[in-house]
Structure 1
Amino acid sequence: MTALRSDPVDVRLGDARLALDAAVEHLHARQHDEGWWKGDLETNVTMDAEDLMLRHFLGIATAETDQQTARWIRSHQNADGSWSTFAGGPGDLSTTVEAWVALRMAGYAAGCDHLARAAAFVQAAGGVEDARVFTHMWLALFGLWSWDECPQLPPEIMFLPRWAPLNIYDWGCWARQTIVPLTVVSALQPVHPVEIGIGELRSGRRPRRLERVTSLAGVFQRLDRFLHAYHRRPLRYLRERALRKAVGWILDRQEADGGWGGIQPPWVYSLIALHLRGHSLDSPAMQAGLDGLDGFTVHAETDEGPARWLEACQSPVWDTALALGALLDAGVAADDPDVVRAADWLLDEQITGRDRRGDWQIRRPELVSGGWAFEFANDTYPDIDDTAEIVLALRRVRHPSAPGRLTAALDRAVTWTTGMQSRDGGWAAFDADNTRTLVEGLPFCDFGAVIDPPSADVTAHVVEMLAAEGRAEEEPCRRGVEWLTASQEADGSWFGRWGANHVYGTGAVVPALVAAGVSTQDAGIRSAVRWLEQHQNDDGGWGEDLRSYRDPAWIGRGDSTPSQTAWALLALLAADERSAAVERGIGYLVSTQRPDGTWDEDHYTGTGFPGDFYIAYHLYRLVFPIWALGRYLARDPVRDLDREGDR
């Protein structure tokens, strides 16, 4: 023991053990009495600006909510007057326009310093004319933009059969839930006048010319002109039937918490659509929706006083799955009371039975539900990523009183997840075979991902889960491995769809391939290891700026963060790397840990829509370092000193 303690590597082991113990203690303390974990989910100030605008449109804004929201928005303004889509990122035109308008509605004068600097940024970025379609639609709701200058989205698309191009099920689930209520808004084109203008934001440039008629963009632009003409003289009977069908579709998908899909965009647009179709504010659907939206509000303090901001989504199921897996990898007993409580809560959240209908069944009608959703209440949209991670965690739990229930739930989940494999062998987040790209060419689609094709990170989590289930040699897992192998980038990394970015993708894929039986000496694994080692920062950590989604120069580059460092370490540990890169990575985590056992992480590392919408999962900074430290200490238990002797 004494000889081991004299080795500097063993000092690192001791430090790592102390860091892990402190982090685990902190994570235990954050568990809710019901068994779940939930970190705040922070995005950008468009959520807050749109919440303020929604309340003004519906007539429920108050001076208190206006001022608290305005304080939050002001506290996030950049020095150049702009607002960004992620912390530390460049200014974004549409985000800045929406923040400017919200502050004006909250009572700020156009000439005040905050708004003058914002207007200057907007002008330099091309003016409000270059803002995204969603921003123009929000402006049109208040008479600040012409509906004639917004793309038409007719509710008659509700009648397109499922095999037809551009039917609503060609959209990814998050886009589908947003598009349907927007067809109602687009058809009715409401205007709620406000006593402000946006002249300060206009560049005055002329509309852009149409693209060539031989191009897809040109075809869709001319189709949009036709739809505008149809809007002026629609077939009244058909239009009314379409509106009724859209509203019925919306009401059918309202969740138990009052929301739609558990995410902000379809939630707010559904409330507007229902209100426009005659649902009063005190109607059951509207009241439930507004009450549920209030539950997404987070109260905070700024330098100017109390503030409020809105989560775009809430992630308790995802956070609980990750926390449970991290604790088990940290060596917490499989029948620990906190572990069992988390397992019980997750079991209650499973979406089961043939009567639990969801949009995913459009392409898998005979598949029986057995997945989990991301949020507290989102039974219509279970997702594959959550389900895979939950199976990985729950299969390791030793439940003292309900082992049979646990086994049955996991067997259902594996069957459902396997059945959601796409034809090409990969897995997407919510749907199978949602790969038709035609919708991406519509003039409306200038923001975010609108389809849900398979991704490396989700496919990797499913492959790792199937391997842990002993199904590595079965066809679904083998096809998943082939998909991952084929999707590796030339530089050795993998693209990260739901996390930033190639560090996330690579951190997910390498452990999955190794678990599925790919040799750690395989050329693809070695290439991934080299890529990670080449992109380690001087401080020992890893980071990748979210600008990497648009600018390849940022791939693998950025300030070190705890979560991204942990992702890189998980890949290197799975590849059985025993290099200085691993030791330096562990050193980064140990040296940057806070006294309370967690870590600071100012940068966003989660991805909503690559290139457009990003997320700061506040629990990532804790669970992923626990995972990495736990696996580091567990991979060579002979050298992991017992706690008493090590200290």
Structure 2
Amino acid sequence: MTVTTERPAAAAVDPAMALDRAVAHLRGRQHPDGWWKGELQTNVTMDAEDLLMREFLGIRTAQETAEAARWIRSQQRADGSWATFAGGPADLSTTVEAWVALRLAGDAPTDPHLARAAEVVTALGGVERSRVFTRIWLALVGLWSWDELPVMPPELVLLPPSVPLNVYDWGCWARGTVVPLTVVGSARPVHPVPFGIEELRSGAEPAPFDRPWTWAGAFQRLDRVLAAYGRHPVGWLRRTAIAKAVEWVLARQEADGGWGGIQPPWVYSLLALHVQGYGLDHPAMRAGLAGLQGFIVREETPDGVVRRLEACQSPVWDTGLAVTALRDAGAPADDPAVLRAADWLLGEEVRVRGDWAVRRPDLAPGGWAFEFANDVYPDTDDTAEVVLALRRVAVPDPGRLRAALDRGVTWTVGMQCRDGGWGAFDADNTGSMPARLPFCDFGNLTDPPSADVTAHVVEMLAAEGRAGSTECRRGVQWLLDHQEADGSWYGRWGANHLYGTGAVVPALVAAGTPAQAPAVRRAVAWLAAHQQDDGGWGEDLRSYTDPAWIGRGEPTASQTAWALLALLAAGETGPVVDRGVRWLVEHQRPDGTWDEPQFTGVGFPGFFYINYHLYRLVFPVSALGRYLEASR
């Protein structure tokens, strides 16, 4: 990816000019249909697993392999490892998967880059210490034994929602992954590849079981019981469970052929259908594979074309943020670009019931999802941002707009959790049982309330004139109760305390919390204390696992904008704000956007991170627009 280092001369620093350049760039990126979508870049496990899936299904081509391998090689670091985010530490499982994918592409284990990678793997504990999902992929291609993997029986799908460990105890992304994987795991399929992984083995013995009276120890022993049952299942029960699981999977396939709009449920659902005899010519398989092609990014580089797979796509989210940015920048409410975006967003409203209705059976549908096609899983975060954007648009049919906004607000209010906060996709999805299973060692498995989502909903309710409602007041109290001791807020879906604090302060102020309230002043003080010498803000993703990184990291345009949005909402003026704006202006590219190789988005804290390519543009536009408005 090309990084442009040319900057405007310091003497030319002018926030208004910078905003004009950024707005022009943003306008130029709008699709003729009205939407915006920046690339959603992740790590090379997406590309490695895509090659392994295609190998397993027998559809891998030489061109796909060469282009994907070229991309995977380009992301290897000097020490031989691969990371989960730019500049991050070596990641064992990511390096294992990259190594296997490159072997699939024909690279030899003695090649220097693979030899270095193998050294990293063994130094980190070997393939034996990689995550369960990595070893599932290895088992699929004959490089690991199914006997050495934790078990998740398909009978799980027969449990009613009232019983612990039913599939609705998982977050939507996890249940969409676990259900098809129970089908795959029960079949234990193998499509062997013509190489081994001896170079990645450290010889490490399996970790000993925890004591039997601990939760971990109890579930480790339960896994042994489930493995024994899996070898001799009750025939009719197993057949019933598999049929139910396949039915569950097929019922959740979306119009674009995918599942949940994200890579894990998508690829595992394809594998589950395949092992159950669904041929490549079956409509569900054809649609699923064809839909994945829309997630492929191909790019010309000096070394040739590279091919990478987006883990997800974010057009609804990006479009809502872009509309807000344009309005913050001074675009009129009936601006043609804004109107096209509003019309497209209104067409994306979700009007059907999804999995959320299991916990909220009496709630009418409404709201918006993240992706082009994901009616099963709308989310409160997207809905809040879309409502905030659309209510600022003067559409030709205000009745249509008002009805959609009312449905979205009503649905979002109905998704409030018992404690007053909001999760993203489900209500009261807070159980701890799924995380105790040996099978589930990767990522967040449930969807509890978070400060950033709750803040966006509170801000939406305040904008809708409902700051005094019981629901909004409970949301505000949840936010106040969850402020960190240092004055910041933890960010679940963005990195990290800068994202959480950047979301909460504007929400509290919008809901009527005075700018001089202690909670707001502590947040302002935290932001001022974490501004860097050059005026910018940055927070490394290692802050999720190492508190020493909280509020620290290389400055980025998106994170600097988040800090500014909070400070401006709190009524701050003066050197801290001015220096932050100067940082944005001085670091703007000549084409109006900003370089941001750092990942500032989050899928699973501590595990999976995202570089939203539009964040570097929409948030600075909003920050500069609000700064100039406040300066008038």
* TM-score normalised by length of structure 1: 0.96
Output the amino acid matched with 2:191: H
**Alignment match, 1:398:** 394
Q: Distance in 1 between matches of 2:440 and 2:344?
A: 38
Instruction: Give the letter aligned to residue 381 of structure 1.
Output: Y
Other-structure match for 1:382: 378
The aligned counterpart of 1:645 is: none
Quote the residue 1:146 is aligned against. 145
Is the contact made by 1:72 and 1:302 (CA closer than 8 Å) also made in structure 2?
no
Equivalent residue for 1:411, pick from 399, 406, 413: 406
**Which residue number in structure 1 is paired with residue 358 of structure 2?**
362
Query: Within 5 Å, which residues of 2 pair with 1:77-226?
Result: 77-226=76-225
1:308 matched residue in structure 2: 307
Partner of 2:42: 43
| Aligned position for 1:567 | 562
1:510 aligns with 2:522: no
Shift of 1:42: 0.2
Is the 8 Å Cα contact of residues 39 and 612 (structure 2) preserved in structure 1?
yes
**Which residue, 344, 368, 371 being the options, matches 1:372?**
368
What are the ranges of 5 or more consecutive residues in structure 2 without an aligned counterpart?
A: 1-9
Could you say what secondary structure the match of 1:537 adopts?
A: coil
Shift of 1:305: 1.0
Paired position in structure 1 for 2:476: 481
Alpha carbons 1:71, 1:302 under 8 Å: kept: no
The answer as to whether partners of 1:122 and 1:201 remain within 8 angstroms in 2 is yes
Stretches of structure 1 lacking an aligned partner (at least 5 in a row): 1-10, 638-647
2:616 maps to which of 621, 628, 634 = 621
Q: Tell me the amino acid that sits aligned with residue 556 of structure 2.
A: T
Partner SS state of residue 298, structure 1: strand
| Distance (Å, rounded) in 1 between the aligned partners of 2:460 and 2:52 | 43
Taking the aligned partners of 2:298 and 2:205, their CA distance within structure 1 comes to 43
In the alignment, is the contact (CA less than 8 A) between 1:493 and 1:506 conserved in 2? Answer: yes
Tell me the CA shift for residue 209 of structure 1.
1.0
Give the alignment's TM-score, normalised by structure 2: 0.98
Q: 1:372-414: CA deviations, max 9, x gaps? A: 0000000000010000001011011011x21111111111111
Deviations 1:346-373 (A, max 9, x none): 0000012xxx120000011111111100
Larger mean CA deviation between 402-411 and 246-255 belongs to 402-411
How far off its partner does 1:301 sit?
Answer: 2.6
Provide, for residues 277-298 of structure 1, a one-character-per-residue CA deviation record: whole Å limited to 9, x for no partner.
Answer: 0100010000000000011000
Aligned-residue CA RMSD in angstroms? 1.0
Aligned runs of 1:256-335 on 2, under 5 Å? Answer: 256-335=255-334
Moved more, 476-485 or 437-446: 437-446
1:14 deviation in Å?
A: 7.5
Q: Deviations over 1:418-464 (max 9, x none)?
A: 11100100001000000111111110111100000000000000000
* Structure 1 residue 300, shift from structure 2 partner: 1.2
Change (3 A) 1:580 1:158: same
Q: Are 1:368 and 1:416, in contact at CA under 8 Å, matched by a contact in 2? A: yes
Aligned residues: 623
The 8 Å contact of residues 13 and 586 in structure 2, kept in 1 or not, is answered as no
SS of the residue corresponding to residue 285 of structure 1 reads helix
Alpha-carbon distance in 2 for matches of 1:421, 1:623: 28
Matches of 1:22 and 1:217, distance apart in 2:
55
SS at match of 2:14: helix
207-216 or 285-294: bigger deviation = 207-216
Cα deviation, residue 579, structure 1: 2.6
1:461 to 456, 464, 475: 456
Q: What amino acid maps onto 1:222 in structure 2? A: R
Contact 1:156 1:242 in 2 (8 A): yes
TM-superposed deviation, 1:12: 10
Alignment deviations for residues 124-154 of structure 1 (CA, whole Å, 9 cap, x no partner): 1010000000001000001111111111000
Counterparts of 2:12 and 2:465, CA distance in 1: 32
Q: Secondary structure at the match of 1:615?
A: strand
- How many Å apart are 1:304 and its aligned residue? 2.1
Give runs of ≥4 in structure 1 deviating > 4 Å: 11-14
Q: For 1:64-121, what per-residue CA distance to the aligned partner results, in whole angstroms no more than 9, with x for missing partners?
A: 1111000000000011100000011111000000000000011111111111010000
Whole-angstrom CA distance in 2 between matches of 1:595 and 1:157? 55
- 2:527 equivalent in structure 1: 532
Q: What is the distance in 1 between the residues matched to 2:87 and 2:207?
A: 32
CA distance in 2 between counterparts of 1:277 and 1:293 reads: 20
What is the deviation of 1:177? 0.2
Can you list the C-alpha shifts for 1:587-642, whole angstroms capped at 9, x where unaligned?
A: 000000001110000100000000000000000000000000000011132xxxxx
Identical aligned residues as a percent: 69
C-alpha distance in 1, partners of 2:265/2:574? 47
Of 486, 492, 496, the match for 1:491: 486
Distance 1:244 1:520 in 2: 57
The separation in 2 between residues aligned to 1:104 and 1:310, in whole angstroms, is: 19
Give the AA of the match of 2:615.
Answer: Y
Equivalent residue, structure 2, for 1:5:
none
The CA distance in 1 between the partners of 2:348 and 2:477, in whole Å, is: 32
Q: Shift of residue 506 of structure 1? A: 0.1
Are positions 1:581 and 2:554 aligned together?
A: no
In structure 2, give the amino acid aligned to 1:335.
Answer: D
Aligned residue for 1:3? none
Superposition pairs for residues 16-35 of structure 1, below 5 Å? 16-35=15-34
For the residues of structure 1 that align with 2:80 and 2:321, how far apart are their CA atoms? 37
- State the alpha-carbon separation in 1 of the partners of residues 11 and 446 from structure 2: 45
Residue identity matched to 2:39: D
SS at match of 1:109: coil
Letter in 1 for 2:616: R
Question: 1:493-537: per-residue Cα shift (whole Å, max 9, x none)?
Answer: 000000000000000000000000001000010000010010011
**C-alpha contact (below 8 Å) 1:12/1:587 kept by paired residues:** no
Measure, in 1, the Cα distance between the counterparts of 2:276 and 2:301. 39
C-alpha contact 1:456 1:505 (8 A) present in aligned 2: yes
